[in-house]
Chain A
C-alpha cells in the first residue's frame, strides 16, 4: 500500500545541536504510527517537520508522494504539546473560530459528541481541567475533518483515568479512517494505540515495527525479575541480563531451565517474578538508559 506521509532522511540542526539526525519512515493511510522516546530525543522536532511547521535542515517530507504545499494545511489536524488558546473565549467560540479558518469542516455536533464537550460549550477555555482541555484541543485538531492528525504527547500530564478516556477518543478517531501520527514517552500508550512504532533516541530511529513484533524480535518469550540483593555478589550475571532500578532482569525462552540455573548459582528465589517483556525493557536494552530519564 502507498504511504500517506513519508519522512525521507530528515535532519534538523540548531546551533551546536543535531536534534534530528536522519530519520526516515512512512505511514500508510488509516494507520496509527507512534514515535516513542524520552524527552529530548527529537520526537517533537521530527513531528513538526512532518507538520510543515518547521523546515528540515536536510531531507524531505512527502504527502501522497508529493512535497508539502499550502493545501496541506487544509487536510491535516495538529494537537501541539503546549498550546495556549486565545483568552476570554468559550469552548464553543474557540471551535467556531477555528472552523471559520478552514474551507471544509467536520460536523460541529459530531465533533462535540466525539470529544465529550457537550457540558463545556459555554465554559471559558482557561477554566478547563487538563483532560477537558486536551479534548478541546483534539476537537480543534479535528475541526477540518483531516485525513491525517498529529498528536504531540497528547496525554502527558493527565491522570490515569483521563489518559484511558483519551485513548478511547483516539481509537474512535482511528475507527473513522483518520491516519494518526503521535509522539509519546509512555510505552503503554504506544502499545495500546499504535500499529507501528519507531523508537527514537538522540535524533535517530533505533528500532521500528509493531510493538509486539519489536519485543518478540529482541527478547525470548519471558522475563524473570529478581531483587538485586537476591543475587549472590560473587556470581557473574549471565549474558543478556539487565541490571536496572534495583532489579535484575533475566530473559529466557525456557523458564524451568532458567530456574535451574538460578538455583545452581544460589540466588534467593523468594521474591522472583515472571512476566512478559515490554517496550520499556526493550528501550533499556537498546539504549542502556531509562525511557523516562
Chain B
C-alpha cells in the first residue's frame, strides 16, 4: 500500500515542482503581498486625530496657540466649508473647527467615536485647560460611568489594568496639580476620572495581517491544489487510467493530501522566511505551535478541497465552486480586517469558518505569544473539521 501511495505522491510532487510557473506563483505571490502591505503601511504612524481648521487662505495661523498647540492632532487647513463638512460626515475628518470669530464654532459627527474624543480635547483646550478640562460635572458622570481609563477596552494585556477602587494617589496628584477643573455650578463633588498610564509599541497593520496572509495562501493552495487538480485529472483521463490499476481511492487520496501538505508547508516556510528577512514582524509565541496550527489548518482546507473535487468533471465548475467557497471564507475570517465590531450575524458565520480559527490561532501565537497549550481549542477544532471533511470526501469520491 505505502509503495503505491509513495509512487503517486512522488509523481504529484514532481509535477508541482516542474511546473515552474505554478511554483513561482505559489511562493512569490504571498511575499509580494506582504511587501506591498509593508509599503502601503510604512512611514510615520498617522496622528490619532484629524481636525480640519477652516481658514481663509489655506494656511494654519502661526504661532500655534490654544487648541493648535495640542500634540497628536493633525490639523488640516481647509477653505471649502461644504467639502469639509462632507468629510466630517464620512469620518474622514474627526472634527471641523472654525476658530473665528471668537469663541469659534465646530462641527462633529455624533456617530464617530474619534470625533467624540477630538471634541473633548478641543473644547478643553479652547476653554483654557490643558488636562482633564471642559467637562461639566454631569458630563463627566456620563462620560466615565465605569471609571475606566482610556484604552483599556482594547488592551491586549488586561492584567495590567488596576481596578478603579484602588489607591488614593491619583486624587492627590490631581489636587497637587490643582487641576480639578472649573465647577460651573454648585453640586455634588464628583471624583475625577482616574488616569492610567499605558505603554507599548503600536501594532502595525502589516504585523497584524501577516498571519492572515499566510493562512490565506494556505487556503488557496490547499483548495485549488487538490480540488482543481483532481477535477483536471478526472477530465483528461488520468483518474480513469489509475482506476484500471490496483490503486485504491484511499491510497490515491492519501498521496494527494500528503503531497499538498508538503507543498503548502514548504511554501509557507519560504514565505515566512522571506517575510522575516524583509519585515521586522513580531513572533512572540512558540514556533512549534505555529507549525501545528498551520498544519491543522492546511489539512482541514485540503479536505474541503477534496469534497469539492469528489465528483466534478469540469475545471470551470470546480473553479467557480472553489471561488464560491474561498471568498466568503476570506471575507468572514478576519484575514484583512478584524471581525470585532461587525454585526452579530457576521461574527456567527465567522465562527463557522475554519479559516477564522486558523487565523485566530496564528495571531494568538505570533502577536500575543501563545504556546501550544493556549491554542489547543483551535487545533482541536481544525483537526475535528478535517476528519469530518475527509470522511465526507472519501464517501463521495468517484474516479469518474
Binding site for B on A (CB under 8 A): 51, 53, 70, 73-74, 76, 78, 80, 82-89, 93, 96-98, 100-103, 140
**Contact sample, A vs B, 15 pairs, CB 8 Å cutoff:** A53-B244, A53-B400, A73-B246, A76-B244, A80-B241, A83-B237, A84-B238, A88-B14, A89-B15, A93-B11, A97-B7, A101-B4, A101-B245, A101-B246, A102-B246
**Would A89 and B11 be within 8 Å (CB), given that A82-B237, A83-B241 are in contact?**
yes
Interface pair B236/A84, CB less than 8 Å apart = yes
Interface pair B237/A80, CB less than 8 Å apart = yes
**Would A73 and B237 be within 8 Å (CB), given that A88-B15, A93-B11, A100-B7 are in contact?**
no
Contacts of B12 in A (CB 8 A): 86
- Chain B count of residues within 8 A CB distance of the other chain: 25
A74 CA / B247 CA spacing, docked (Å): 10
B228 to chain A, nearest CB (A): 13
Contacts of B4 in A (CB 8 A): 100-101
A147 CA / B370 CA spacing, docked (Å): 61
Kindly supply a per-residue 1/0 record for chain B positions 219-254, scoring 1 wherever the CB is within 8 Å of any chain A CB and 0 otherwise: 000000000000001001110111111110000000
The A-contacting residues of B in range 1-49, CB under 8 angstroms, are 3-4, 6-8, 10-12, 14-15, 18-19
A82 CA / B242 CA spacing, docked (Å): 13
Contacts of B11 in A (CB 8 A): 86, 89, 93, 97
Interface pair A101/B15, CB less than 8 Å apart = no
Instruction: Beyond the given A73-B245, A102-B246, please list 6 additional residue pairs across the A-B interface where CB-CB is below 8 A.
Output: A86-B11, A93-B11, A97-B7, A97-B8, A100-B4, A102-B245
Closest to A72 in B: B246
A97 CA / B13 CA spacing, docked (Å): 12
Contact pick for B240, options A76, A80, A87, A93, CB 8 Å: A80
**Would A89 and B14 be within 8 Å (CB), given that A97-B7, A100-B6 are in contact?**
yes
A228 to chain B, nearest CB (A): 44
A83 CA / B245 CA spacing, docked (Å): 14
Contacts of A100 in B (CB 8 A): 3-4, 6-7
A82 CA / B238 CA spacing, docked (Å): 10
Contacts of B6 in A (CB 8 A): 100
Closest to A54 in B: B400
Task: Summarize A's interface: helix, strand, loop or mixed.
Answer: loop
A46 to chain B, nearest CB (A): 16
A277 CA / B245 CA spacing, docked (Å): 41
A83 CA / B244 CA spacing, docked (Å): 12
A93 CA / B19 CA spacing, docked (Å): 16
Contact pick for B244, options A73, A84, A89, CB 8 Å: A73
Closest to B235 in A: A84
Contacts of B10 in A (CB 8 A): 97
A78 CA / B240 CA spacing, docked (Å): 11
A73 CA / B236 CA spacing, docked (Å): 21
Contacts of A88 in B (CB 8 A): 14-15, 18-19
A76 CA / B246 CA spacing, docked (Å): 10
- Number of CB contacts from chain A to chain B under 8 A: 65
**Would A70 and B246 be within 8 Å (CB), given that A87-B19, A88-B15 are in contact?**
yes
A109 CA / B243 CA spacing, docked (Å): 26
Contacts of A93 in B (CB 8 A): 11, 14
A51 CA / B241 CA spacing, docked (Å): 12
CB-based closest 10 A-B pairs: A100-B7, A84-B236, A88-B18, A101-B245, A88-B15, A78-B244, A84-B237, A97-B11, A73-B246, A97-B7
Contacts of B237 in A (CB 8 A): 80, 82-84
Query: Max chain B CB contacts within 10 Å: which of A70, A83, A98, A101?
Result: A101
A140 CA / B240 CA spacing, docked (Å): 14
Contacts of A82 in B (CB 8 A): 237
Contacts of A73 in B (CB 8 A): 244-246
Query: Max chain A CB contacts within 10 Å: which of B11, B14, B244, B247?
Result: B244
Interface pair B15/A53, CB less than 8 Å apart = no
Contacts of A51 in B (CB 8 A): 244
Contacts of A74 in B (CB 8 A): 246
A82 to chain B, nearest CB (A): 6
A103 CA / B247 CA spacing, docked (Å): 11
A89 CA / B180 CA spacing, docked (Å): 81
Interface pair B240/A83, CB less than 8 Å apart = yes
**Would A86 and B15 be within 8 Å (CB), given that A53-B243, A70-B246 are in contact?**
yes
A25 CA / B246 CA spacing, docked (Å): 26
Closest to B400 in A: A53
A80 CA / B236 CA spacing, docked (Å): 12
Closest to B251 in A: A101
A140 CA / B3 CA spacing, docked (Å): 17
Query: Max chain A CB contacts within 10 Å: which of B19, B233, B245?
Result: B245
Contact pick for B238, options A78, A86, A96, CB 8 Å: A86
A12 to chain B, nearest CB (A): 14
A73 CA / B15 CA spacing, docked (Å): 26
Contacts of B245 in A (CB 8 A): 73, 98, 101-102
Contacts of B247 in A (CB 8 A): 101
B241 to chain A, nearest CB (A): 5
A73 CA / B245 CA spacing, docked (Å): 6
Contacts of B400 in A (CB 8 A): 53
A98 to chain B, nearest CB (A): 7
A74 to chain B, nearest CB (A): 5
A41 CA / B20 CA spacing, docked (Å): 43
A88 to chain B, nearest CB (A): 4
A102 CA / B1 CA spacing, docked (Å): 10
A164 to chain B, nearest CB (A): 26
B18 to chain A, nearest CB (A): 4
Interface pair B246/A85, CB less than 8 Å apart = no
A78 CA / B238 CA spacing, docked (Å): 13
Kindly supply a per-residue 1/0 record for chain B positions 241-276, scoring 1 wherever the CB is within 8 Å of any chain A CB and 0 otherwise: 111111100000000000000000000000000000
A76 CA / B243 CA spacing, docked (Å): 12
